Structure 1
Amino acid sequence: MRIDELKRIAEENGYEFHDEHGLITISRISLDYENIVKISKGRLNCLWIHNTRCDDKDLNVIKAAIDFAETPPEDREEQKKFYLRHRRICSKGFYLYLQKLSDVADMMSVRVFDFSGNDDIKFSEKEIEEIKKKFDTDLKDFELVEVEE
């Protein structure tokens, strides 16, 4: 499990998420109870759970925390995303666009300041390798441009 998935699950279940000093702390605290999960970022299978009550939301977070703790530390970080800019026509702003629902690859002219809301033109390294296989291409006409969020 990646750290962004753990954070999403924690927040969906009413937990606060803190990532500092090599430790992830997920907590839900009120006057009636105190539920805290701490997970080592650098060590496999290392977590601490303090739970004074448990409902479905708490169980969801505990399961996610265990899954995260069992994930090797090198596989926990968010994946970098890239734009695939066409090398020869990049002056016109052409980037690879993949309609993810229909698996149709197409070129699309997009201005740089329009990128933020369009996930169909952002790809992880794994997704880029899948595109190469699926469309039987080496993408040599495209250069990787790292997405800066």
Structure 2
Amino acid sequence: MVAFRGRPSHVAGAALVLALATACGPADDEDLPPVTRNQVIGHWKGDCAGTGATLDLAADGTVSATKFLVHTDGIENEPRRVDGTGEWYLFEGVEGVTPQTLDLKLGNRIQSLDYVPDGSELRLRLIVDPDAGLDCNFEKAGRRPAQPTS
């Protein structure tokens, strides 16, 4: 993943989301209504390759991440786990081009998470390495367990 700085990061983030959406097929958000701040504020737990990743999204727009996987820019290009704080915001998307996302600014990196509908609940998906098929799914802590279908 490329590091971005300043306001142009919104445009660069949108371009990155478009590239990932194109590489990964159609987005799952076709019928997803706009996501609100209240839906994302809270504690999220991820399934990132057994890392126990968490995100804490505060009402003031700050985020605290632990064991969060990011794609590095090194020669090996292996994802690594990071702990840190930063800011979060809702990217509204561009109709017909890019889906809405939850964007995190951790240090000098912008990470975009897709919204994934899960019944009446919402999940977040971070595509860490599309070439390796590595992604992380986050569920909000305290959500109701999925009901078995009969």
Structure 1 or 2, whichever has the larger Rg, is 1
TM-score range, shorter chain: under 0.3
The TM-score with structure 2 as length reference comes to: 0.25
Q: Which has the higher strand share?
A: 2
The TM-score with structure 1 as length reference comes to: 0.25
